[in-house]
Amino acid sequence: MTNILSFVSIKGGVGKTTLALETAISLAKNFDKKILLVDANFSAPNIGLYLDLTADYNLQDSLSSKTLLQNTIYEAHGIDIIPAALHYHKEIDPFKLKKLLTKYKPRYDFIIIDSSPNHEELLPVIATSDKIFLVTSPDHVTLQTTLKAAKIAREQKTPIQGIVVNKIRSPKHEYNLKEIENISEIPVVAKIQDHKKMAEALSTKTPISILDETNVISKEIKNLASSICGSPESEGWFQKIFSLKKILPKQKINREFIRQEFYRSS
C-alpha cells in the first residue's frame, strides 16, 4: 500500500504546510478519505500554529520514545493530525519516523507529511515517503533550491509524483509551466495562484478549503486531491467545452497520469 505522501522543498516560505494541510482537508472533505496529517518539520513546525491546536503530546515525544504514537494524534476539521513541538530539547531519532508511520498505513487511506526545508530533517521524511510532491514558486531561486530536494529523492529512490507551483503572482515575470517542466524534467501537477483570501484563512485559523470552497486555490487543491485518490476531476461547463476541443491545461493532463496510476495500483 503506497499511501505516505510528502510535500517537500529545500526553501522555507514556499507553502509546503499550506499545501499539505489543504490537500489533507480536501481528501477527507471532498472524497471521504481517512487522513492522517503529520507535521515533520522538527525545528519549525507550523500545523499546530495554523490550526491553534493545543497538544499534550507531539511527534517528538514518540520519536524520543516518551509516548506511543497513538497518544500524539488529534482531530481537527475531519482529519487526524500529529503535531510537532516548536520547542523540544530532548534528543530524538527522526529516522524512527518510517517505522512509526508504517504501522499506521493500514488505518488510513493516506498519510500526508509536511516536511522541513532543513536538509538533515528532510532526509528521514523522504526515506519515510512512498511518493513526494515538490513544492516551488515560479522563480529561479526557489526552483533551483527545490531541485535539490528532487536530487535527494532520486538518490533515495523515492518516486517524485510531480511539482506543485505555488504562489503565482506575476506570470509575465515568472517561469511558466512549460519552462518549469523543461528545467526540472518533472511534470507540473497543480498551479496555484496567490490570493488575498489566504490571509483571512491564516487569520481565522481555518483552512481555505473549508473557509471558501469556491476559491481558485480550493478548486485547484481539490483537483490535485482527486488525482491522488483516483477520483474523476469535476468540471464546470466552461472546462467541458475546452475538454471537448482537446485544449487541456498541462497540469490537468499530468494529474490524469497520477489518476491512472492509482487505478493500476489499486
pLDDT at 12: 86
Beta bridge partners of 7: 114, 133
Residue (of 40, 195, 191, 233) closest to 129 by Cα position? 40
Q: Is 265 exposed, middle or buried (0-12, 13-18, 19+ CB in 10 A)?
A: exposed
Residues 6 or more apart in contact with residue 253 via CB below 8 angstroms = none
- Cα angle for residues 233, 154, 231 (degrees, 5° grid): 15
Buried b (16+ CB within 10 A) or exposed e, 26-50: bbbbbbebebbbbbbbbeebbbbeb
CA distance 69 to 53: 17
Residue (of 124, 127, 111, 122) closest to 135 by Cα position? 122
The angle that helices 250-265 and 216-228 make with each other, rounded to 10 degrees, is 30
35: Cα within 13 Å, side-chain hemisphere: 29
Q: Is the pTM here over 0.75, yes or no? A: yes
Residue (of 115, 132, 100, 109) closest to 35 by Cα position? 109
CA distance 207 to 26: 10
Q: pLDDT tens digits, residue range 130-175? A: 999 999 999 999 999 999 999 999 999 999 999 999 999 988 889 9
Domains of the chain: 4-224 (3.40.50.300)
Write the CA distances from 186 to 43, 159, 226, 233, 263, integer angstroms. Answer: 29, 11, 20, 21, 21
Question: Can you say whether the dihedral through the CA atoms of 146, 148, 149, 155 is positive or negative?
Answer: positive
Query: Residue 64 is placed in which grid cell?
Result: 524520543
Q: pLDDT tens digits, residue range 44-55? A: 999 999 999 888
Query: Residue 91 is placed in which grid cell?
Result: 534528543
Return the residue matching grid coordinates 499530468: 254
pLDDT at 242: 47
Phi-psi region of 37 (alpha: psi -120 to 50; beta: other; left: phi over 0): beta
CA distance 31 to 41: 27
Asked if 257 and 186 count as a contact pair (C-beta separation under 8 A), the reply is: no
Tens digit of pLDDT at every position of the chain (266 positions): 569 999 999 988 899 999 999 999 999 999 999 999 999 999 899 999 999 988 899 999 999 988 999 999 999 999 999 999 988 888 889 999 999 999 999 999 999 999 999 999 999 999 999 999 999 999 999 999 999 999 999 999 999 999 999 999 988 889 998 899 899 999 999 999 998 988 899 899 999 999 999 999 999 999 999 999 988 877 654 455 445 444 456 676 667 656 666 545 54
- Reduced to 3 states (helix: H, G, I; strand: E, B; else coil), residue 131 is strand
Number of neighbours of residue 69 by Cβ within 10 angstroms: 21
